[in-house]
Chains A and B, each alone.
Chain A
Amino acid sequence: MDAKQILSEVGAPVIVFDRVKLAFDDKVVLKDLSFTLIKGHTKIILGASGSGKSTALKIITGLLKADQGVVWVNGQRVDQLTEREMMSVREDLGMIFQEGALFDSLTVRENVGYKLYEETDTPIAEVDKRVKEVLGFVGLGEHIDKMPSELSGGQRRRVAIARAMAFKPSILLYDEATTGLDPITATTVDDEIIKLRDLEGVSSIVVTHQLRDAFYIATHMAVRENGDVKIQEASREKEREAEFIMIRDGLIVFEGDADALRASTDSYIRTFLS
C-alpha cells in the first residue's frame, strides 16, 4: 500500500510532528513538539504569544526548517525537502496568515485567484468562475474588484481564507485568523473555518489565543439544510474530531478535546482559561 492509498483512507494522519525542535540563536522556540493531525479533523493550538504556535505552522509549510525532528505532510518528509521540492507539498496546503497577508497591489479577484492565474495552466474563464465561487462561499462576492486597502479587517481575513481555499487544498492552516477582530466579525471567520472543515472535508490546524473562537470552532458544526448552510452545535462525535493542544515555552502541556480542556486542573491551563 503506497502513501496515496493510506492518505485516502478515513483516519489517515495528514500531518505528523515528531519530536521537533527549533531555536533562533540562544532562544529555544520549540523544545520537543509531537502531534498528529488526522484527515478531516481540526487541531486547535493554544498558547500565549511567543510560545511557538505560529512557528509550528511555518515548519509545516516549509517556511522555516526545524533543527531536529521529523515532519510529515501528506506522506512527504518536509524536514528533508529543499525549497523547490516543497512547492509540490504546498499544492495541497493552504495557509491563512496573521493579518491576512494579502498582496497590496492586486485586487481581491487577483489575490484570490493568484495561484490559479500564476502557477497553473487553468483557463482564465475557469479561474474567474472559481474565484467567484469561493468569494461567494465567504460572502464577499460583491467586493471582487476592490483593492485590499478598501476592505475591513474581517473582510481581509475572509479574502485570505478564500485565497487559501481557491486551489482546493486538503489541509488549511490558520495563523491567528481572528486576532484583533470584534466578536461578531470573528464569528463570521470561525463559521468559514467550520464550513470548510465540515462541507469541504478540509483538515485544519487553527492557531489562536482567542479561547472564545477556539471553543466555538470545536463545539459547532456546519450542515446543509434545503440548500442552505446552517451552523449548529456539534454532535458529541463531531466535537471529538477537534483536538486542543496547549503549548507553553515550546512544549505541549495539554492535549485533548474541549471537555478535557475545560476539566483540566493544571494551574497554568486554569489561568489561561480564566
Chain B
Amino acid sequence: MRLTAATLYGVVTRPIYRHDIVEQLDAIGVGSLTVVLLSGLFTGAALALQSGQTLDQFGARPVVGRLVSASMIKELGPVLTALMLTGRIGSGIAAELGSMMVTDQINALRALGTDPVRKLVVPRMIAGFLMTPILTVVADFVGIVGGWVVARFTLQVNSGLYWSSVTKALYIGDVWMGLIKPFVFGFIIVTIACHVGLRTSGGTAGVGKSTTLSVVAGSVAVIAADFFVTQILMSVLY
C-alpha cells in the first residue's frame, strides 16, 4: 500500500524522469511484442480448432468466428497477455530491482539524492499501465487472425462468413471489458514485481527467490483479479 501511494504521488509530482518512462515504454511495450504476438496467434488458432469440433456437433461450424472473438476479447486476450507479461516483465523488474538492492545500487541512488520510487517504480508503473492494454488489443487481433487461418484452411469456413460472425457476436460491453481488465492487470503485475524486487535481500540467491515470487504471485493475482474484475464489470456493463 505504501509503495502504491508513493508511486501515485510520484506520478503527479515533480521530478518526473521522462527519458526513463520512454525507455520503459519501449522495454515493456515493444520488447514484449513478439511474445504477445506468438501467444495470441496460437491461442486463437487452438481456440478455433477446439470450438470447431464442438460446434460441428450442432452443425454450427460457420459461427466459429463468434466464439473466437468473444473468448479472445473478453477473457483469453487480457488474461493470457497478462500472464505472458508477468513472466516477461514481472520477472525482469523483480530481478533488476533485486540485483540493485543487493549490490547497494538503490542505496547509492538515495545517497545521490534520487528517490528510487520516482526513478525506478514510477516509469515502470506508467509503462505497465499503458502498454498492457495496447498489447492486449494486439493479442486479441492476432488471436482472431489465428482463428481465421484455422477456420479458413482447416475447418473450410468461408472467410467472409468468419469475419462477419466475428463482429456479430460482439457487444460494446465485451469491448469495454476487454479494454478495462488489462489496465488493472498491468498495474497489478508491475506493483507486485516492484514491491518484491525492492524487498530483496540475501545476495544472488535472494534475487532468484524474488524473481520466482514475482512470477508466481503475479500470475495468481492476475487470475484472481480477473474473476473479481469480471464480476464487477458484468454488474456495471450489462
A residues apposed to B, CB below 8 Å: 58, 61-63, 83-84, 87, 90-91, 93-95, 97-99, 101-104, 114-115, 118-119, 163
- Best-buried of B104, B112, B115 by chain A (most CB within 10 Å): B112
B105 x A95 contact (CB < 8 A):
no
Question: Which of B99, B107, B114, B119 has a CB less than 8 Å from the CB of A58?
Answer: B107
Question: Judging by beta carbons under 8 Å apart, are B104 and A101 in contact?
Answer: yes
- In the complex, the answer to whether B108 meets A118 with C-beta atoms within 8 Å is no
B110 at the interface (CB under 8 A from A): yes
Q: How far is the CA of A91 from the CA of B112 in the complex (A)?
A: 7
Contact (Cβ within 8 A) A103 B104: no
Asked if B111 and A95 make an inter-chain contact with CB atoms under 8 angstroms apart, the answer reads: yes
Point out the residues of chain B lying under 8 angstroms from A99, CB to CB.
103-104
Known: A63-B110, A118-B17. A83 touches B115 (CB 8 A): yes
Are B114 and A118 in touch, CB under 8 angstroms? yes
Is B115 a contact of A119 with CB atoms below 8 Å?
no
A98 vs B107: C-alpha distance when bound (angstroms): 11
Of A98, A101, A103, A163, most B-chain CB atoms within 10 Å: A101
B59 located at the interface, meaning its Cβ lies under 8 Å from any Cβ of chain A in the complex: no
Q: A103 near B105 (CB under 8 angstroms)?
A: yes
- Is A115 within 8 A of B112, CB to CB? yes
Judge whether B160 is part of the interface by a CB distance below 8 angstroms: no
Interface residues of B in 73-120 (CB under 8 A from A): 99, 103-105, 107-115, 119
- Residue in B17, B99, B104, B113 whose beta carbon sits within 8 Å of that of A90 in the complex: B113
What A residues does B104 contact at CB under 8 A? Answer: 97-99, 101
A79 to B67, CA, bound (A): 63
Query: What are some 19 contacts across the A-B interface (CB < 8 A)?
Result: A58-B107, A62-B110, A63-B110, A95-B108, A97-B107, A97-B108, A97-B111, A98-B104, A101-B103, A101-B108, A102-B108, A103-B108, A103-B109, A115-B112, A118-B114, A118-B119, A119-B15, A119-B113, A163-B112
